[in-house]
Homo-oligomer: A and B are copies of this chain.
Amino acid sequence: MRDAIIRDVELADEGDDRIEWARRHMPVLGLIKERFEREKPLEGVRIAACLHVTVETANLIRTLKAGGAEIALAGSNPLSTQDEVAAALARDGIWVYAFRGNEKEYYECLEAALEIKPDVVLDDGADTIARIHEHHPDLIGSVRGACEETTTGVIRLRALERSGKLGFPVIAVNDAETKMMFDNRYGTGQSTLHGIMNATNLLFAGRKVVVVGFGWCGRGVAMRAKGLGASVIVVEVNPRKALEAAMEGYQVMSMREAAKIGEIFITVTGDKSVIRGEHIQLMQDQAVLANSGHFNVEIAIEDLEALATSKKRIKDGVDEYLMPDGRRIYLLGEGRLINLAAAYGHPPDVMDMSFSNQALAVEYILKAEGLERKVHRVPLEIDERVAELKLKAMGIEIEELTEEQKEYLSSWELGT
């Protein structure tokens, strides 16, 4: 099937058109691509990338290729690959190992991508890096560094770092301010609700929406659900975040209490089984469950399967689980990232920032000498640079400090 997809010329043409549309809304990445074309900073570098195969990713891949890299690309989720994009990239000469619905072949694709023997790894969820450490210790030595795109992945990699086994430096691209506070918040916020609208067409106005997790993604989802008129309930384990949610005017409660009154549940925790059997049993008839965290483990689907007397796909992306007491619980997108399963993932405008950080982080890995085998933050210069270029592209002029102000800010003597 994969081969059929990536050789489909019509599909590739369609992919090209859609990639081009996104390109026009990724001006910062465009500037980086122009420079990469001139300077070729990635000449001869082999990159294994495991990313959602979307139009935005395609523009990152083309940017890296413009810089001289050779790239193998696997999808980072079985439901997120856009086949027309895969086809277009394959025609470009990228080694593409991804097609929509590759549940069974997921790890096979990852393995194929690793055959490139990467100098640099781009990861989204840390599956590739974990796989290298578990199954390909021989590859570790030649990897000069990796980039990780998600909160979930960074959590895993910090655990790997603590275990003392991390074999090469990793840049936590996710933690760049121009990534985390934008992509995770505004991107996940809009695209998650977009996915749920596509799957259900339900009205948010007046609906009780439960957002599980109040990190940057959760803040974004809650903010947008409120912006669409929902009555939002937040479930969180961290007291400082829970308090912030309360002060923002959301109702804050435990999962058990929220389970009883919610109508739509959205998980964005990076954790597993945050909605499980004990909660499902308390839910109202017609409750809708969606996940926007990286892995399909946040909703305990196995509990849903165990509790239900029958299961029916009532429309694309919507599975109905019938409970013994007659209640129907709906699972969207098989519990996978709903913004990719039922919509197009993050908008290009915001991925422009995330992927500019990625491209510059790859360049940084190659230029930096002696980076420690740790999880590193994106250098502040890169973060600032991305922000400056983005503002410029948006036509926004910001204020500048005068010399007198700079001096004031660096002195301690002046007061009242």
Please report A residues at the B interface, Cβ cutoff 8 Å.
14, 17-18, 20-22, 24-25, 77-78, 106-107, 125-127, 130, 133-134, 155-157, 159-160, 162-163, 177-178, 181-182, 186-187, 189-190, 194, 197-198, 200-207, 212, 223-224, 226-232, 235-240, 242-244, 246-255, 257, 270-274, 286, 295-297, 314-315, 318, 343-344, 346-350, 383-384, 387-388, 390-391, 394, 396-402, 404-405, 408-416
Contact = CB atoms under 8 A, between A and B. Distances in A.
Given A223-B229, A237-B399, 5 more contacts: A20-B314, A130-B415, A186-B203, A271-B408, A273-B404
A187 to B, nearest CB: 7
A394 B249 CA distance: 13
Given A206-B247, A394-B246, A399 B254 contact: yes
B77 A206 contact: no
A248 B205 contact: yes
A403 to B, nearest CB: 11
Given A255-B399, A399-B237, A243 B201 contact: no
A396 B228 contact: no
B18 A243 contact: no
A402 B273 contact: yes
- Identical copies in the complex: 4
A223 B248 CA distance: 11
Given A257-B397, A387-B242, A205 B230 contact: no
Contact of A231 (B250, B346, B402): B250
Contact of A391 (B134, B200, B239, B415): B239
Contact of A127 (B21, B182, B416): B416
Contacts of A201: 22, 194, 343-344, 347-348
A249 B231 contact: yes
Contacts of A250: 231
Contact of A134 (B14, B162, B346, B413): B413
B156 A391 contact: no
A185 to B, nearest CB: 8
B412 A163 contact: yes
A252 to B, nearest CB: 5
Contacts of A182: 243-244, 247
A243 B390 contact: yes
Contact of A21 (B130, B198, B226, B315): B315
Contacts of A297: 408, 414
A202 B247 contact: no
Nearest to A155: B409
A297 B409 CA distance: 12
User: 8 shortest A-B CB distances, which residue pairs?
Assistant: A227-B227, A239-B387, A203-B347, A160-B412, A186-B205, A203-B349, A206-B247, A159-B412
Nearest to A388: B239
14 contacts: A18-B315, A22-B201, A77-B416, A127-B416, A156-B415, A186-B203, A186-B206, A190-B205, A227-B227, A237-B401, A239-B391, A243-B387, A272-B404, A272-B408
